[in-house]
Amino acid sequence: MKDSALLIGISDAVGFVAGAQLGLWLGQSMGFDAFAGGFGNNALVGMVLLGLGGGLGLQLASRWRSWRAARKSE
């Protein structure tokens, strides 16, 4: 069964924002600040962790939709 565009959009948005937030918190707990002034190593590592978290959250949202569709079709 095909998911609606609204479900895809909302799940992608929630997954990305939650993952980015977790990446930001992880970076800050390790001392890397994505929002520090300039483009020093501290800020760049924080930005990378933020981006990785957002990407992983987006992937988890996609996998959740696939799992949900497979469960519905059974």
- Residue 24 belongs to a domain: yes
Domains held by the chain: number: 1
Quote the pLDDT of residue 74: 75
Q: Domain for residue 35, yes or no?
A: yes
Torsions phi, psi for 54 (to 5 deg): -65, -40
User: C-alpha dihedral over 46, 11, 9, 13, to 10 degrees?
Assistant: -20
Residue 11 maps to a domain: no
3-14 pLDDT per residue, tens: 789 999 999 999
pLDDT band at residue 50, thresholds of 50, 70 and 90?
Answer: very high
Note whether residue 3 is domain-resident: no
Residue 1 pLDDT greater than 70, yes or no = no
Range of the domain at 43: 16-73
